[in-house]
Amino acid sequence: MEFKHIPVLLNECINGLNIKTDGVYVDGTLGGAGHSLEIVKKLDQNKGLLIGIDRDEEALNAAKEKLKDYKNVKYVHSNHDNIKQILVDLNIEKVDGILLDLGVSSYQLDEKNRGFSYIGSNDLDMRMDKSQRLTAKEVINSYKEEHLASIIYEYGEERFSRNIAKNICIERGKKTIETTEELVKIIEKSIPRLNPKDGHPAKRTFQAIRIEVNNEIKPLENTILDSIDVLNTGGRLCVISFHSIEDRAVKNAFNKARGQCSCPKDIPYCVCGAKKVGKIITKKPIIANMEEQKNNSRSKSAKLRIFEKD
């Protein structure tokens, strides 16, 4: 498998991390190592350290090849949700910067047999980590109709979620739904013909199933807070999100970390224990410029938020 990877908002991320040559940095979503390559270039090979984390072993192997000239890189097959335990295992207390490039990577989408793409006919898989048990096939064929509808609506923001879930359950009652092509056909007949500008009719449902399979949203807010917690004073966390559900979780976590009270307005005093641990660098998220959006379509929905630890 060839890992083609165009890092999104590359210069903005590198500038946002405010890299010190002798610092310790974490790429929590190593992927094709596009961001990591630029990070490690700025590090002193004897004093600086890059930690690359990915739950996809194919990505780790490709990154090792891409970064083979750099000896100051540690590779970890894990999930960025485990950031605190990963650092404990490496005997590292604090780091100077963390980058999280959320969602599915371009090479996972392009590798059709991983089942992330709604183009073609491939096994319903969608696992970022092939060692995990839960697959898209199990979600589609075993989840109750109400649960399926809820996932497709919440994670895909698909307004025809109930109809899609109903038709999935009807079809799987006849035979097991095995392939992406079978799922696409069910989705297509479940929704009215839409404006072509809305994109492929299966896009939102595939996004929702992928998020469920890989548990991308539920732990995200805590992951952001854990990442901020392990930063040194002045350390930066850069997070790239690609849809509103991710961005909302990032924004909520950043607001908590800057000490914003989350108590209901009718309570006369704070009981949520809000505590300021740093500041948000980006009052508004950074988006790709027109040139990048033209050259890399996946950058069109990208939003970068940056937090600095006090």
| Each residue's pLDDT tens digit, 45-57 | 999 999 999 999 9
């009270």: which residue's tokens? 261
139-166 pLDDT, tens per residue?
A: 999 999 999 999 999 999 999 999 999 9
131 by Cβ neighbours in 10 Å (0-12 / 13-18 / 19+) ranks as exposed
Q: How far apart are CA 59 and CA 23, in angstroms?
A: 24
- Return all residues near 171 (Cβ < 8 A) that are at least 6 apart: 177, 182, 186
**Which residue spans of the chain are classified as CATH 1.10.150.170?**
121-214
């697959």: which residue's tokens? 135
Count of C-beta atoms within a 10 Å radius of residue 133: 6
> Does residue 113 carry a pLDDT above 80?
no
| Alpha-helical segments (H) within the chain | 10-17, 34-41, 57-66, 83-89, 106-110, 136-142, 145-156, 161-174, 180-190, 203-214, 220-229, 244-257, 290-295
């096994």: which residue's tokens? 123
CB 262 within 8 A of CB 274: yes
pLDDT for the residue 104? 76
What pTM was computed for the model? Answer: 0.91
- Read off the tokens for 110: 């392009």
239-292 pLDDT, tens per residue?
A: 999 999 999 999 999 999 999 888 888 888 888 778 999 999 999 999 999 999
Task: With CA atoms as reference, report the closest residue to 225 among 244, 243, 251, 206.
Answer: 251
What CATH number should be reported for the domain whose range is 10-103+217-309? 3.40.50.150
Count of C-beta atoms within a 10 Å radius of residue 7: 22
Long-range contacts from 287-295, C-beta under 8 angstroms, 24+ separation: 288/8, 288/9, 292/8, 292/9, 295/6
**Which residue spans of the chain are classified as CATH 3.40.50.150?**
10-103+217-309
3-class secondary-structure state, position 236:
strand
**Assigned fold of 121-214:** DNA polymerase; domain 1 (1.10.150)
